[in-house]
């Protein structure tokens, strides 16, 4: 091993420890008795596995997990399809002011979410969807500027001759999108799906705004409900809250573990073709 690589390995090791330490602390604290949760020891003196049993007793965690999966899959699926369709239009078609319109789409990324929060709430309230899970994913039917940009860069790398040959064979524009663009853009679509799934899974703001019925809660909203219940009782059981947090974290770790290869390939390919 070259001595020149040692500084890089040291920096990489330090960064890895810095990133993984909070997760290790979380798992360790979730296995401790209440009195030892914040002692900052990574190896518990006493392993209290009953914390995980109590989580299922104090709250309908299984229901919240199901809601999070449902909302996350719906949000990721809708944003993939809508963003891919818009991105394909910008990549394939040549029309007047295409660059200016695409610039306006990208400009929406500069608009803070707080600016549109109240108008969007009023729209959903007028439609009668408040206290339902629809507002948590239906907004993705209109695409996302960032994902549109990402997928457009990928579509631009697909040889145009493939589409022209399909047109000669009588394939429609929608057929080209479905039979050529989508299959070739699989790595980029997986990136979009995983990123949006993670964003929806960890989102607290929308469930906090739109959901009042406990049966509709997602995991982040449910975790807040658990903490609020402890506050009302005047006795905080952080070991239970942390155990619930671990349960909420594990699914996303598994998703990233299984999709890691596709994520790396998709990012590298999109960057190269862009």
Q: Say whether both 37 and 140 belong to one domain.
A: no
CA 24 to each of CA 20, 30, 45, 224: distance values in angstroms, whole numbers, following the listed order: 6, 10, 15, 22
| pTM listed for this prediction | 0.87
Number of domains in the chain: 2
Quote the pLDDT of residue 265.
66
SS (H, E, C) 80-97: HHHHHHHHHHHHHCCCCC
Q: What pLDDT score does 274 carry?
A: 45
The enclosing domain of 174 has a CATH number of 1.10.3720.10
> If you ran DSSP here, which 8-state letter would residue 128 be given?
T
Answer yes or no: is pLDDT of 1 > 60: no
**Hey, what are 89's tokens?**
């239009």
pLDDT tens string 260-269: 777 766 555 5
pLDDT at 226 over 60: yes
The whole domain housing 7 covers 1-48
In a shared domain, residues 256 and 137? yes
What is the model's pLDDT at position 39?
A: 86
């Amino acid at each position: 091993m070259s001595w020149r690589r040692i500084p890089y390995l040291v920096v990489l090791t330090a960064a890895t420890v810095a990133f993984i330490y909070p997760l290790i602390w979380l798992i360790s604290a979730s296995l401790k008795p209440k009195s030892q949760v914040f002692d900052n020891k990574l190896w518990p003196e006493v392993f209290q596995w009953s914390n995980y049993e109590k989580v299922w007793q104090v709250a309908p965690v299984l229901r919240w997990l199901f809601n999070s999966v449902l909302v996350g899959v719906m949000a990721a699926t809708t944003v993939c399809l809508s963003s891919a369709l818009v991105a394909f239009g910008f990549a394939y078609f040549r029309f007047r002011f295409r660059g200016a319109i695409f610039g306006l789409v990208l400009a929406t990324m500069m608009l803070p979410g707080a600016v549109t929060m109240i108008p969007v709430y009023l729209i959903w309230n007028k439609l009668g969807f408040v206290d339902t899970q629809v507002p948590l994913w239906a907004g993705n039917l209109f695409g996302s500027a960032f994902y549109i940009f990402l997928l457009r860069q990928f579509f631009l790398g697909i040889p145009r001759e493939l589409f022209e040959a399909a047109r000669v064979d009588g394939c429609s524009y929608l057929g080209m999108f479905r039979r050529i663009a989508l299959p070739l853009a699989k790595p980029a679509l997986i990136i979009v799906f995983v990123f949006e799934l993670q964003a929806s899974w960890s989102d607290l703001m929308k469930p906090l705004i739109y959901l009042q019925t406990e049966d509709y809660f997602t995991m982040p909203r449910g975790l807040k409900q658990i903490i609020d219940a402890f506050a009302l009782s005047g006795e905080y059981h952080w070991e239970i809250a942390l155990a619930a947090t671990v349960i909420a974290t594990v699914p996303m770790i598994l998703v990233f573990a299984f999709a890691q290869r596709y994520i790396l390939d998709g990012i590298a390919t999109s960057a190269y073709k862009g």
